[in-house]
Amino acid sequence: MTQNSPRLVVTPPPICNSPTLRKELSDRFPQAWFNTTGRYLSEEELIHYAGEADALLIGRDGVTDKILSALPRLKIIAKYGVGLDNIDQQALERHQVELRWTEGINRRSVAELTLSFILGLCHNVFRAGADLKQGQWAKEGGRMLKGKTVGIIGCGHIGMEVVRLLQPFECTVWVRDILDRSEFCAETGAVEKRFEEVLRGADILSLHVPLTDQTRNMMDKNAIHQMRLTAFLINTSRGEVVDQDALKEALLKGTLSGAALDVFAQEPPEDQELLACPNLMVTPHIGGNAQEAVEAMARAAFQHLEDYFSE
């Protein structure tokens, strides 16, 4: 695609920092501009760099009505990743800008990190390793996953993949989703439960919901208080799904045994008191960033753009 090539602005650092992916995209779109800041762009930066763009390839950058109003040439946005909570979709309709993305493309990567968290929390891997590096030989081996109850809140693409990965571990799996998952449960042996039942009965609670008005702070102080004292909470979905102040309080008071977070309400997080909790395991939003997932998400976005401009 060289003659009258569309002007494309590309923001996701995993694409912009990859010579291989940059070349693949530049070969298709010679007028592509790549973000070199190493981070996603602010509203003002996106307006500045994309003022003449026909297309955007974005990740976690916010797309607002103000941005769309300032980009008169924009025809399409291709989304790197799966979450759409950073995009004002009503504004897209008003400005007649098309949005394309691929659902569930990073499901395995996120599910594998979730399983790593589950096993790491159960077997005290993270805390024991940190203690050893500080010179403490504390042989606290934790608990086995076998025989435990794992609660999955949100049984979409990623939640289902987590359920499948758990099958060899001989644990009980409960799921809660807004859709009927009876067929999937019959296939995998998982059991559908009410939200409150999962909260109160799970040994490990893992969140896999999109960020919406209904899921924002769904794990608030009241919800966390209903969990078992010995339970673990895992969030690899969106940071705003968990009230981080309530989680910090529960971890510090010992009313929750432990937690693992790959996502935060503010990224990077600034609450050092939360990050310092010894019973909290953290990663910097890497769930979907396994190399294979990065390449798959990038190439899916490339294809969406090529399909659009070939139509």
Superfamily assignment of 8-105+290-310 in CATH?
NAD(P)-binding Rossmann-like Domain (3.40.50.720)
The residue among 234, 12, 207, 37 whose CA lies nearest residue 122 is 234
The residue written with tokens 């309400």 in the block is 265
In 10 A of CB 81, how many CB atoms?
A: 23
pTM of the predicted model as reported, rounded to 2 decimal places:
0.91
- Segment 148-160 shows an average pLDDT of 98
| 57 has pLDDT over 90 | yes
Whether 8-105+290-310 shares its CATH topology with 107-282 is answered yes
In 10 A of CB 42, how many CB atoms?
A: 12
- pLDDT at site 3: 53
- pLDDT at site 221: 98
* Beta strands, E only, the chain: 8-10, 32-34, 55-58, 76-79, 98-100, 149-153, 172-176, 191-192, 204-207, 232-235, 258-261, 280-282
- pLDDT at site 82: 84
Superfamily assignment of 107-282 in CATH?
NAD(P)-binding Rossmann-like Domain (3.40.50.720)
Q: What percentage of the chain has pLDDT greater than the value 90?
A: 93
CB 189 within 8 A of CB 215: no
Domain definitions of the chain by residue range: 8-105+290-310, 107-282
Per-residue H/E/C for 235-291: ECCCHHHECHHHHHHHHHHCCCCEEEECCCCCCCCCCHHHHCCCCEEECCCCCCCCH
> Rounded to whole angstroms, how far apart are CA atoms 311 and 309?
6
pLDDT digits (tens, 9 = 90+) for 10-33: 999 999 999 999 999 999 999 999
- pLDDT at site 98: 97
pLDDT digits (tens, 9 = 90+) for 119-143: 999 999 999 999 999 999 988 889 9
In this predicted model, which residue has the larger pLDDT, 54 or 311?
A: 54
Residues annotated as part of the active site: 238, 267, 285
Backbone angles phi, psi at 183, to 5 degrees: -65, -45
pLDDT digits (tens, 9 = 90+) for 210-253: 999 999 999 999 999 999 999 999 999 999 999 999 999 999 99
The residue among 53, 14, 63, 65 whose CA lies nearest residue 35 is 14
Q: Residue 4 burial by CB count (10 A; 0-12/13-18/19+): exposed, middle or buried?
A: exposed
| 2 has pLDDT over 60 | no
Q: Residue 304 burial by CB count (10 A; 0-12/13-18/19+): exposed, middle or buried?
A: buried
